[in-house]
Structure 1
């Protein structure tokens, strides 16, 4: 059996849209020592492919980080097989808040050095000495404490469309950048109650251990992240302290938590929380774009990208092989990537 995908994106998406059954979008993670991650990778790929499971899973010697969609009619078998493995016994599963079953269109299982890129040397501190896990009710109560500092441990494009009230939302592109940035922002506040949150909890697992190592005395994290917070407040009738949409790393790019739109289109400033990737294949900048601007700009972030995206495919390919290929770094890194911040502050 082949242990990788051989079909193109367009065909896979068409097949997904034509499915007549329902899918369940889930996520889970666990820090656990995996002796042979490459062997486990092949076993999981074969097992999940047979069940028609889609999604993205990262394995490392330190554990697993998975987001996927499971056919509803295979759900029981999927869970039975997952829980039967010693590494994943009693695995907490988080279900998507808004789920149309179209979150993933293919299966990817990859082995990496870490399940989350954090840039840390784990040998320098105890990664198992994590912060206190809080339920949604406990998290709400802690938010009311004036001695509390709440920090969003996600990237700027995630917190821009949704975050907790009064949260510190660092303007960073990666989790690796965020850890030292937050540490610097909180210097001298090591005695404060620290509340951390992220999408599903995995980044806070590592961050809480890191901040305890750095001398913070009262470190807490939202157990299950924003995803499980949304489930708990609905199930228990709690007040929702999260405003806006929760960014997710699949085809949906977001799920509404409060029904509010707290962000703006990066191009015209209209209320909008819809992320998209620039239609220029040589850019693919992730930004917020309303329907009107999507039509006006043909799904692109700048006029330069619009011009390139509307060229015949043969000319686009020629550009990649010639001038565009050699100039790509100077054009896209100096002009287009920083353009996201320009788009926020200076509408085009």
Structure 2
């Protein structure tokens, strides 16, 4: 594999998808969907619930294209996924270890039955119109993601709810937002799905005008030139790429293998960072370190003897990409300036 290839020639195609749709037969669909993906070498996670589908998978271009045709035009979903929010990107190596199709009560967990995107949802804002909206003084801009995601990057002037999970967003709204004061609220998230529920929830609580970024940060980074961007940093993604930047080029972030917190370059330069064992975010959690240290020892032994370790896959991929990431980022910046 040549990891120095430009992004358009990377060998793996990544598909992120979500759609709020009526899927009362989600349980019956689960094994059929899993079999389709596994038979084509597709890996990743898809969540099925009575309210729809959500997830990210990767495979060869041919495999992902076949999956898209099957999802949108095949008999199993019977066109119920038409209009789904779908984003494609490329990866230099397979970003997932296995294929999982999970059944859950919700495709994004908020535990607020009054939030029903199929019934009411905020106003979608296209990426090219987002900057002019969020620069208005009468608009309150809220990042609906969790604290570890916000820590890698966010939009300028955005409020950080400092949540550990999306279910806490309801508490943030109750404590910090007021429908009588905050007449216009704009929200964003990684791919748009959390904002659909969040906007529906705010409307149910009496907020008058609620906007959300269509396609989320990922679509914005794909469509808006870096020279015009109001997004600072990198966007956390839920796979072994860890983060992406403008043009959806793989970012510089890595994961702490003890606590799974994303790490910036500064985090990895911190005195509390020990590769595979601890980081500044979990330095005081001694219980995690022993297991992490043993896993790291097994990985290093495996490397020494030329034997692959299951937990080594992500670390190996990260190491192989390291040099390529910077070159790809530079190429992306050059293209945006051209």
Alignment match, 1:257: 246
CA distance in 1 between partners of 2:175 and 2:295 (Å): 48
CA 1:189–1:238 in structure 2 vs 1: closer, same or farther (change >3 Å)? farther
CA 1:102–1:230 in structure 2 vs 1: closer, same or farther (change >3 Å)? same
Alignment match, 1:39: 28
CA distance in 1 between partners of 2:122 and 2:294 (Å): 52
Among residues 54, 62, 74, which one is paired with 2:63 in the alignment? 74
- The answer (yes or no) to whether the contact 1:82–1:88 under 8 Å persists in 2 is yes
Among residues 175, 190, 193, which one is paired with 2:184 in the alignment? 193
| 3-state secondary structure, aligned to 1:88 | coil
The answer for unaligned runs of 5 or more in structure 2 is: 1-9, 297-338
1:100 aligns with 2:92: yes
Among residues 236, 240, 245, which one is paired with 1:247 in the alignment? 236
CA 1:307–1:52 in structure 2 vs 1: closer, same or farther (change >3 Å)? closer
Alignment of 1:70-219 (within 5 A): 70-84=59-73, 85-86=77-78, 87-96=80-89, 99-122=91-114, 128-187=119-178, 189-219=180-210
- 1:147-197 residue CA offsets vs partner (Å, 9 max, x unmatched): 011000000000111001100011110000022213321125555211010
Alignment match, 1:55: 44
Deviation at 1:238, TM superposition (A): 7.2
CA 1:121–1:71 in structure 2 vs 1: closer, same or farther (change >3 Å)? same
- 1:47-97 residue CA offsets vs partner (Å, 9 max, x unmatched): 11111111101100010001111211323322221211322234332123x
Among residues 263, 270, 273, which one is paired with 1:288 in the alignment? 263
- The answer (yes or no) to whether the contact 1:132–1:221 under 8 Å persists in 2 is yes
Larger Rg: 1
- The answer (yes or no) to whether the contact 1:278–1:287 under 8 Å persists in 2 is no
CA 1:125–1:22 in structure 2 vs 1: closer, same or farther (change >3 Å)? closer
Deviation at 1:100, TM superposition (A): 2.3
Alignment match, 1:13: none
Alignment match, 1:277: 256
CA 1:179–1:275 in structure 2 vs 1: closer, same or farther (change >3 Å)? farther
CA distance in 1 between partners of 2:48 and 2:254 (Å): 27
- The answer (yes or no) to whether the contact 2:59–2:94 under 8 Å persists in 1 is no
- The answer (yes or no) to whether the contact 2:44–2:99 under 8 Å persists in 1 is yes
CA distance in 1 between partners of 2:109 and 2:132 (Å): 31
Deviation at 1:35, TM superposition (A): 2.1
- The answer (yes or no) to whether the contact 2:140–2:182 under 8 Å persists in 1 is no
CA distance in 1 between partners of 2:295 and 2:244 (Å): 35
Deviation at 1:239, TM superposition (A): 1.4
| 3-state secondary structure, aligned to 1:178 | helix
Deviation at 1:138, TM superposition (A): 1.8
Q: What TM-score does the superposition give when structure 1 sets the normalisation length?
A: 0.71
Q: Greater relative contact order (Cα 8 A, min sep 6): structure 1 or 2?
A: 2
- The answer (yes or no) to whether the contact 1:196–1:221 under 8 Å persists in 2 is yes
| 3-state secondary structure, aligned to 1:166 | coil
The answer for unaligned runs of 5 or more in structure 1 is: 1-20, 260-271, 314-348
- The answer (yes or no) to whether the contact 2:153–2:232 under 8 Å persists in 1 is yes
| 3-state secondary structure, aligned to 1:74 | helix
Among residues 20, 23, 42, which one is paired with 2:12 in the alignment? 23
CA 1:185–1:24 in structure 2 vs 1: closer, same or farther (change >3 Å)? same
- The answer (yes or no) to whether the contact 1:245–1:258 under 8 Å persists in 2 is no
- The answer (yes or no) to whether the contact 2:17–2:87 under 8 Å persists in 1 is yes
Deviation at 1:274, TM superposition (A): 2.6
- The answer (yes or no) to whether the contact 1:131–1:208 under 8 Å persists in 2 is yes
CA distance in 2 between partners of 1:93 and 1:126 (Å): 17
- The answer (yes or no) to whether the contact 1:244–1:258 under 8 Å persists in 2 is no
CA distance in 2 between partners of 1:312 and 1:105 (Å): 17
